[in-house]
Amino acid sequence: MKMKKFILAICSVCLVGLGSCEKGLELGPYNSATIAQAFESDSDFANAVRGMYASALGGSYYGGSMISLPDILSDNVLVARTGRLSNLSFHEWRYTADGTWGLFATAYTGIRRANAILENIDRLPAGTSKENYKAEALAFRAMAHFDLVRLYGKAYTQASDTDLGVPYVTSTDATLKPSRESVKTNFSKIETDLKAAEAAIGSANGIYRFNKAAVSALLSRVYLYEGKWQESADAATRSLALSSNPGALADYARIWTDAVNTGVLLKLQIVDKDRITPGVEYSQSSASGVRNEYVVDHLFLQSFKANDVRTAASVRLTTFNGQPYNSIAKWFGRATGNANVTDSKVIRVAEVWLNLAESLANLGKNAEALTALNNLRKNRYTDFDAGNFSESGNALKTAIDLERRLEFAFEGHRLFDLKRKGNGISRSSRGDKADGTGTPARFLSLAATDYRLQLPLPSNELRVNSNIQQNPNY
């Protein structure tokens, strides 16, 4: 009954985009509960927290597009012409305000659920449970706003003080029509929420909810995007003090079938009955073989070495109608169960080592940066010999960038890594078949200054909120 009570209360609060409810929806059904009634006990808050995380599994968020579109928009993958040509407008940078990524609405749904927890948290008695729920809601709110601003706003290091980010929403008031704040203001508020969360988060939280190591890791990522190298290194160090194993050589492939959770700091659980299939945006199984939506770019494929355990776990040679293709294997699914179903990995230890390495390299601490980098590489390359690597300066930074690209290929990082470094997108002219022949991409480059690196806000949001301003040129 508690879960039912919470769901009824959630449904009774109408939110159309960020605008107001229609008058016809102002009166709730006779059996609805108010928000206040939905937050009466510890179990009510536990249900609310679960609902908050569940919102991130929408198809526009970590249940799908957040792990695929950043790669589809950039240079790791190539559209397969034998597929359904799904998301082709994104791959070819032809999106519009009437046909854009639905992250805006989905993320704000999660933010509203986090804010409902925060607005009612004082109904709980003081104690660790109260502080933990509050910290989780703050961390989730920060994560969702961070994901929004890095998609719809310019990169922090390229943004002026007036370049627009997104509304930073801290209320459940459905009548509010908030305007966009600056990118810089967004990041400042994200930092504030994460620092408060890190200080109060419980020590017993598992990997299916924010825990201290995950919050520190996310804060390290935020600082990295801002170019605050010492702060990023410090946050990464705090995270690694709690969880430093990125997954050994034998574990890496098993992470992607959910056989082990080694090296995972935060993941969102998906079971077959949820009917959520993150991997379907990359490929589907069929009687004719693996039907790919997107395949690994042939030139990028050459970056994977034979002794890299990520190679076989990330890429698999498959056929469709007798033709060979380099399929994206990370999201094929578990050993048993439905195809394309696997938990969505949001934050992993490997990223923290790379955050630390990149931050230290930018601080000129090359020896320490190389040590951090090798703490990952020794768990990714068989017969690895750290003595064979003595990169420094630009060579070291290039090596870190390569490991980041290899480690997080097809996980939704690539577009944002290019943006934050001030780089455009440059694709190869190779074709979609396994040997590089076939049909190449029609659109090969996007300059670092191109307006399309900031996606358009959905036109529906502009219609319901007159205070929202569209990104330029849309």
Going by pLDDT thresholds of 50, 70 and 90, the confidence category of residue 33 is low
Residue 443: pLDDT over 60:
yes
pLDDT in tens, 130-168: 999 999 999 999 999 999 999 999 999 999 999 999 999
Q: Which amino acid is at 166?
A: V
- Entry field: residues in the chain: 474
pLDDT in tens, 72-123: 999 999 999 999 999 999 999 999 999 999 999 999 999 999 999 999 999 9
State the CB neighbour count (10 A cutoff) for residue 246. 26
Going by pLDDT thresholds of 50, 70 and 90, the confidence category of residue 15 is very low
pLDDT of residue 11: 39
Share of the chain above pLDDT 70, in %: 93
State residue 82 phi and psi, 5-degree precision.
-90, -5
Going by pLDDT thresholds of 50, 70 and 90, the confidence category of residue 34 is low
Q: How large is the average pLDDT for residues 203-221? A: 97
pLDDT in tens, 410-436: 999 999 999 999 999 999 999 999 999
Going by pLDDT thresholds of 50, 70 and 90, the confidence category of residue 17 is very low
pLDDT of residue 29: 47
pLDDT of residue 326: 98
**From CA 359, how far away is CA 244, in angstroms rounded?**
17
Residue 25: pLDDT over 50:
no
Tell me the sheet residues that pair with 296.
Answer: 77
Q: Is 1-60+102-202 in CATH node 3.10.20.30?
A: no
Burial call 341-379: b when 16+ CB within 10 Å, e when fewer:
bbbbbbbbbbbbbbbbbbbbbbeebbebbbebbbbbbeb
pLDDT of residue 203: 84
Residue 233: pLDDT over 60:
yes
**From CA 198, how far away is CA 341, in angstroms rounded?**
31
Q: How large is the average pLDDT for residues 456-466? A: 96
388's CB contacts (< 8 A; 6+ apart) are none
39's CB contacts (< 8 A; 6+ apart) are 45, 48, 116, 117, 120, 123
Q: What is the largest CA-CA distance in the chain?
A: 72
pTM value? Answer: 0.93
| Alpha carbon separation from 36 to 46, 341, 446 (Å, rounded) | 15, 36, 49
**From CA 471, how far away is CA 474, in angstroms rounded?**
6
Residue 22: pLDDT over 50:
no
Contact between 164 and 183 under an 8 Å Cβ cutoff? The reply is yes
State residue 296 phi and psi, 5-degree precision.
-70, 130
Q: What is the mean pLDDT of the chain?
A: 93
pLDDT in tens, 379-388: 999 999 988 7
**From CA 253, how far away is CA 166, in angstroms rounded?**
37
Q: How large is the average pLDDT for residues 175-202? A: 98
Contact between 353 and 246 under an 8 Å Cβ cutoff? The reply is yes
